[in-house]
Amino acid sequence: MKVVNLRYVAAAYPLTGRLYEDYSTQADTLLGLIEELDRKYRGFKSMFCDTATGKLRINTMIYYGDKEKVPVAVLDLKQPISEGAKITFW
Amino acid sequence: MKIRQAKEQILLRVDLSSGSIKKEPIPEEWTEMYLGARGINSRLLLKEIKNGIDPYGPENILYIGTGPMDGVPIGMGRLSIATKSPRGCIAEGSSGGFFGPELRRAGYDFIAVEGISEKPVYLLIQDEKVEIKDATHLWGKTTYETDAALRAELKDPNFQFRYIGPAAENLVHSAMLFGNLNQAGGRAGCGEIMGSKKLKALAVRGHGGIKLYDYEGFLDAYKDFRQKLDLETSRDMWTPVWSTFGAPVLSRLFPDMGQLMTRNAQEMSWDYDKATAISSEKYLDSYVTKAKACWCCPWPSCQKLYTIPSGKYQGFKGGNYWAGQPITFGSLIDNGDLDLLLVLSGLCNRYGLDIFHVGYTLGWAMECFEKGILTKADTEGMELGFGRFDQDELINLVRKIAYKEGFGELLSLGCEGAAQRIGKGSEKYCLSVKGMELEAIAERNLLMVGLGIAVSEVGPDHTRWYPPYPCNPSLLSKAELDELGLDIDLKLAFETRNPDKKGELLRWFTISRAIVEALPSCVFLVRDSLGLDLRTWWKLFESATGIQQDYQEFVRAGERIMNLDRIFNVREGYGRKDDRVPYRMSHEDVKGFGYKKIDQDTLDRMLDEYYSANGWSLSTTVPKRSKLSELGMEELAEDLVSKGVEVES
């Protein structure tokens, strides 16, 4: 289990009902994390992943930063997840 | 009811010294060459304002312009407001609301205000009937009071207004015009010039209409336009965010990325809890009472109205919480109290002040106070540290800026003017370019922003060269780029910290934005590929006006406009030395994020690329004769030579 800091900005906020949370995850990749979050917040995956291609939607954005690193825009959902990572969904 | 063709453009010329009022047609070829609004305003400025005149004198002219697309029902209700700035350079700003469409319905597209009135007046336009009316009873009123007084006086709720507040009457730096209470425009000093002319307001009511040349063709282009703005089909990551939540969402995104100017940009990160406290999400949760859109806007409205729900300032009302306020009245002065932030912002709207002027000048003053350059002897006993101030005193200080009272008089000059007066090295803490304050966008991590604010003719204004957080470079394929004649390596151009290709990309976006503002349309409707691929705008313009020109000729209109603005400035003595970034950005790295300062070598590299791409002299920045000839503006080269300006071949 890893604990990551998740931040929900703009349209992700009404879906989750929270602005941020520390979240324990078993996922190794960003896609795995999104699938976990989809079970908690129905519709989360379709907000960020194109249902046809499974790829990140072009009109959404996810920023990932390892602990103490500057977050950058994620281009690949296979992005590995590390303990203490800061991830912003918008 | 008079129905006019969309391409018809009429100027209403008002001389406040003599009281004369005339109607003049805009030359038809100008609509082809410069489209309208900002484009024709720039042409008028260059033709009618002699170089070297006193900006506050009767020879200066204030232009308010609409364009061929204004008043057609697709969210194009913008205005361009332009004049010679008190700083000597061109002043131009765009504004939304309903005034533009109403002016066109009254039968006019441009207003040129000349001369100076002996007493306060307002201009009353009711279709053919145009009058200069006494405004002595309005002088001194806030924008909100003026709006209410005019509505009571004119009795028709469909009148649209533009007015100034006490700040512009008192010639406070960068004061603006307002309408619909919170719609601001012309921050570069247009309000000051309106105040200097003793013109308190413009009121317009029209009963005519605008006819499209080709309705079916227009509808086709409009469908394409809407698809690019649709929440489902847009390919732009900003579309869903901007359209519903607005730009203050950035306050929660930027602290981690070194993009949030904090404590006068001494730091670029901020406490996350404070950033959350002033975020869009908090604002929408507890403050917003009503969504309000501009004329026929297809987006769910960005200028939401608010009421402070509880606490000390309970009941305070305002509107328009956008990207600037969370920084100017938030992180920049280290304030994490949304109530105070909204009061400061709302008071700026009431007094007619520019939030960027006030926020950045407060930031400068706080840094000076903390460094001992300013003391309580200067601030009339006020504690003025970052996050260390009495809220009521700060609120009162905004009022004092508008009325030039006490310590407020110093800050009314803007940070550069204030620093010039007190010296002591305080110039280093000014976050301004060409005498105008920044507008809350970080430079050192986004080099195109650094270049953009350096070269902008009016001073820092990202709306003149596109949002700095660029659309996805893969929005257009290589084949599409070739089709558009766009020979730019977008992947390289979008590398944020690499100076290469920034000049070329900035040039394109400056052209693109000049076109959008000349139609005119709104900065926030340029999403998806609409800033790179201008064919949708081209088709909208063609079907609305019936003016047929090939795509590249349409694009050249934008290039002409950017050249007009540069020529205006070089005539006034501006040049390469003025295209710079603030001292802090050129001398200090961003702590903790690895972003280096924009040193002179880096800036010079980008400037050279930008000037070369534009066909401008590398040393003087004057457009070359060959470029002006290519654009069909050869006569401007001769005009420059006659004024003693060297024009390279």
Which chain B residue has its CA at the smallest distance from A50's CA?
B232
Inter-chain CB pairs, A–B, below 8 Å: 56
Contacts of B472 in chain A (CB under 8 A): 58
CA distance B445 to chain A (A): 12
pLDDT of residue B239: 79
Residue pointed to by tokens 């929005």: B475
Interface contact A10-B234, CB threshold 8 A: no
Bond before B468 cis per omega within 30 degrees: no
pLDDT of residue B525: 85
A25 touches chain B (CB under 8 A): no
Provide the CB-side half-sphere exposure for B393 (13 A, CA). Answer: 15
Range(s) of the domain holding residue A81: 2-89
pLDDT digit string, tens, across residues B489-502: 888 988 889 999 99
**Helix, strand, coil fractions of chain B, as percent rounded to 5:** 45, 15, 45
Burial B81-97 (b: 16+ CB within 10 A, else e): bbbbbbbbbbbbbbbbb
A11 touches chain B (CB under 8 A): yes
CA distance A90 to chain B (A): 8
Pair B533, B476: CB distance under 8 Å: yes
Pair B360, B263: CB distance under 8 Å: no
Identify the three-state secondary structure at position A11: coil
Interface contact A10-B239, CB threshold 8 A: no
State which amino acid sits at residue B535: R
Please identify among residues 552-611 of chain B the ones whose CB lies closer than 8 Å to any CB of chain A. 593-594
pLDDT of residue B467: 64
pLDDT digit string, tens, across residues B193-213: 999 999 999 999 999 999 999
Interface contact A90-B258, CB threshold 8 A: no
pLDDT of residue B471: 60
Average pLDDT across chain A, whole number? 94
Residues contacting residue B322 through CB under 8 Å, at least 6 positions apart: B246, B247, B248, B302, B303
Interface contact B253-A63, CB threshold 8 A: yes
Residue A67: give its domain's CATH number.
3.10.20.30
Cβ neighbours, 10 Å, residue B13: 16
Domain spanning B246-437: which CATH class is it, in words?
Answer: mainly alpha
Cα gap B342→B318, rounded to integer Å: 8
Contacts of B234 in chain A (CB under 8 A): 59
- Strand B110-114 with B90-95, pairing: unpaired
A75 touches chain B (CB under 8 A): no
Rg of chain A taking only CA atoms, in angstroms = 12
B248 touches chain A (CB under 8 A): no
Judge if ipTM > 0.85.
Answer: yes
Contacts of B235 in chain A (CB under 8 A): 58-59
B192 touches chain A (CB under 8 A): no
B253 touches chain A (CB under 8 A): yes
With residue A3 as reference, give the H or E element that holds it. strand A2-8
pLDDT of residue B470: 58
Interface contact B237-A60, CB threshold 8 A: yes
pTM of the predicted model as reported, rounded to 2 decimal places:
0.97
Interface contact A59-B239, CB threshold 8 A: yes
State which amino acid sits at residue B279: S
State which amino acid sits at residue B18: S
Provide the CB-side half-sphere exposure for B94 (13 A, CA). Answer: 30
Domain total in chain A: 1
Interface contact A10-B257, CB threshold 8 A: no
Q: For chain B, which ranges sit under pLDDT 50? A: none
Q: How far is CA B146 from the centre of its chain?
A: 23
CA distance B289 to chain A (A): 18
Question: Under CATH, what is the fold of the domain B3-211?
Answer: Aldehyde Ferredoxin Oxidoreductase;  A, domain 1 (3.60.9)
CATH 3.60.9.10 residue ranges for chain B: 3-211
Q: Which candidate from A7, A59, A63 shows the least CB-CB separation from B240?
A: A59
Residues contacting residue B340 through CB under 8 Å, at least 6 positions apart: B313, B329, B391, B394, B395
A1 touches chain B (CB under 8 A): no
B257 touches chain A (CB under 8 A): yes
Max Cα–Cα distance, chain A, nearest Å:
35
Cα gap B94→B116, rounded to integer Å: 24
Which chain B residue has its CA at the smallest distance from A65's CA?
B256
Encode chain A (90 residues) as per-residue pLDDT tens digits. Answer: 999 999 999 989 999 999 999 999 999 999 999 999 999 999 999 999 998 898 998 888 899 999 989 999 898 999 999 999 999 998
Residues contacting residue B625 through CB under 8 Å, at least 6 positions apart: B634, B637, B647, B648, B649
Cα gap B444→B588, rounded to integer Å: 9
CATH 1.10.569.10 residue ranges for chain B: 246-437
Contacts of A19 in chain B (CB under 8 A): 252, 276, 279, 281
Contacts of A13 in chain B (CB under 8 A): 281
Contacts of A7 in chain B (CB under 8 A): 252
Provide the CB-side half-sphere exposure for B250 (13 A, CA). Answer: 23
Interface contact A59-B281, CB threshold 8 A: no
Domain spanning B447-642: which CATH class is it, in words?
Answer: mainly alpha
Pair B56, B65: CB distance under 8 Å: no
State which amino acid sits at residue B186: G
